Amino acid sequence: MPRLFTGLEIPAEIGQTLSNLRGGLPGARWIDPENYHVTLRFIGDIDGVSANEIASMLFRVNRKPFEVKVQGLTSFGGRKPRAVVATIAPSKPLIELQAELERMMQRIGLNPEGRKFIPHVTLARLHDATDRDVADYLSLRGYFPSKAFMAERFVLFSSRASTGGGPYVVEDAYELCE
């Protein structure tokens, strides 16, 4: 039973820039750069029939390519930080694509996503990192010049339930066309 999600791939050159921010944070488990992505919609553990239905439905998305801007670092979790992430500017085309994918998943019977969509790239998952350690890390590495790329497709990823942070496999790709 595959665990699926839709997302945007991060180009290798931007992944390299982000991977240079690794290190210097106790309790961090750094994500490999080839597994960097922006999750659009987590789908979850799905049977094969549903996975095929989802994969074929995603071909109906008809949107134009758009710019994605990576613009700094932050953490999720507040006083109990659980991740260090690169923030993604929430542009109108990105928000609209995510909302369309959300509607599609609900139409086939999946529960609504419980969390607000906050576009980001997870760089590290944190275990026993203090909020002070994270604040110190972010003060040293949190600012970097914005990097942008054109999202020309989104993909359906699969992952193994037992591992957070990859490896992720591109099961199918859906072109964003002019």
Catalytic sites, residue numbers: 37, 120
Distance CA 124, CA 117 (A): 19
Distance CA 119, CA 128 (A): 24
CA distances from 79 to 48, 82, 83, 134 (A): 40, 9, 12, 10
Distance CA 23, CA 141 (A): 10
